[in-house]
Amino acid sequence: MVHGGEQFTQSCLIDARALAAIRATVPLAPLHNPQNLLGIETALALFPDLPQVAVFDTAFHQSMPEHAYRYAIPERFYREHGVRRYGFHGTSHRYVGQRAAELTGLEVGDSCWLTAHLGNGCSTCAIVDGQSRDTSMGLTPLEGLAMGTRSGDVDPNLHSHLARVLGWSLKEIDHLLNSESGLLGLSGLSNDMRSLEQARARGHRQATLAIEVFCYRLAKSLAALSCALPRLDGVIFTGGIGENSPLVRAKSVAHLGLLGLAIDNTANARCVGGVSGAINAPGHPRLLVIPTNEEKQIALDTLALLDSPAPDKDSPCRPS
Ligand code: AMP
């Protein structure tokens, strides 16, 4: 499930209560949650005795403190309409945070990471002792980093500016920011980082700029999220771009000298195509490439839930 609202702080077995709570989140994700619900309801009709588990992209981030998840707008929009930062990609951030602890011999419960999930959608996360403390996405997955086709952060007044200057509707502005912006919008070429890297090598000016903006914004986001950490045990790159683009990793780390980060070019070049490892220069904070595996995390949550005792009657979900 994309959105679990504030109801779901972890994965859960689907029963009537959970289904009702999931239905209540539809206004928060009107495009995605109805599709997810359709799958659940169809499977329920076809296999009524088969247990189903819901894993939420938002759940991991429910541990964010209020000063990280509230917008600076009047409280009633939060209380009455659920307007707050939720964050997404939680399954991926959680998985790579745990893997980083395993790979480095640190305890998940005593480790501090900045994670960068860079796929078609992109987000960063600050993880302290196994819990999300802040993340770059917000009420929707549009906030934060520049992405394949999403703009990420823009001045919130851009909406009224475009409406005033061009007479555009909300639907048109929505489409511009979600589907025609980001790497695609800046480059005028593609939302695929591979194509942009090839075009950059041929001297394509806009593809070059798209990569520069992408990397600078990523670095800015990581630096901002460092505010949520008491110390830094490492920065983790994951997702299609994070796992496969030495160029993006090198360019973003180059902006983060003030955090003491420095890259080892040989190790950076080696970590592609599913190869994990450390890519920091010796004596500098850890930089790790860790392939994400959301499917495995979902399977692990499912196994844990199938083995767990009956749910607390007051909770729509069982702990995973
Ligand atoms: P994902 O959503 O995690 O599958 O990631 C998709 C993104 O990963 C796309 O922008 C791809 O261009 C990017 N990607 C995949 N392989 C590579 C690669 N070898 N070099 C650069 N980007 C890549």
Q: In whole numbers, what is the pLDDT of the chain averaged over residues?
A: 95
Whether residue 31 has pLDDT greater than 90: no
Q: State in Å: Cα 171 to ligand 1 middle.
A: 28
- The best mutation among 92, 195, 245, 289 to test binding of ligand 1, ranked by most ligand atoms within 8 Å of the C-beta, falls on 245
Residue 121 assigned as binding residue:
yes
Number of Cβ within a 10 Å radius of residue 28: 21
Q: Say which CATH topology domain 107-289 has.
A: Nucleotidyltransferase; domain 5 (3.30.420)
Taking the CA of residue 117 as reference, the ligand 1 atom at the shortest distance is 3
245 in contact with ligand 1, CB cutoff 6 A? yes
Considering the candidates 15, 49, 57, 134, report the single residue annotated as catalytic. 57
Ligand 1 nearest atom to the CA of residue 193, by list position: 12
Tell me the helix, strand and coil percentages in the chain, rounded to 5. Answer: 50, 10, 40
241 in a labelled binding site: yes
pTM for this entry:
0.95
As a whole-number percent, the residues of the chain with pLDDT over 90 amount to: 93
Q: Token pair for residue 228?
A: 């949520």
Predicted confidence band of residue 316 (pLDDT cuts 50, 70, 90): low
Residue 293 Cβ inside 6 Å of ligand 1? The answer reads: no
The residue written with tokens 């980093």 in the block is 145
Q: Where are the domains of the chain?
A: 107-289
Ligand 1 centroid vs 211 CA: distance in angstroms? 13
Give dist(CA 162, CA 188) in Å, integer: 20
Picking from 220, 86, 212, the residue whose alpha carbon sits closest to that of residue 142 is 86
Please determine, for residue 318, whether its predicted confidence score (pLDDT) is greater than 50.
Answer: no
Q: 310 CB contacts (<8 Å, ≥6 apart)?
A: 318
Please report which confidence band the pLDDT of residue 309 belongs to, taking 50, 70 and 90 as the band edges: low
Cα–Cα distance between 239 and 234 in angstroms, integer? Answer: 17
57 catalytic residue (yes or no): yes
Map 150-206 to HEC letters. Answer: CCCCCCCCHHHHHHHHHCCCHHHHHHHHHHCCHHHHHHCCCCCHHHHHHHHHCCCHH
| 211 token code pair | 């990569």
* Alpha carbons 286 and 220: distance in angstroms, whole number: 18
- pLDDT tens per residue across span 122-162: 999 999 999 999 999 999 999 999 999 999 999 999 999 99
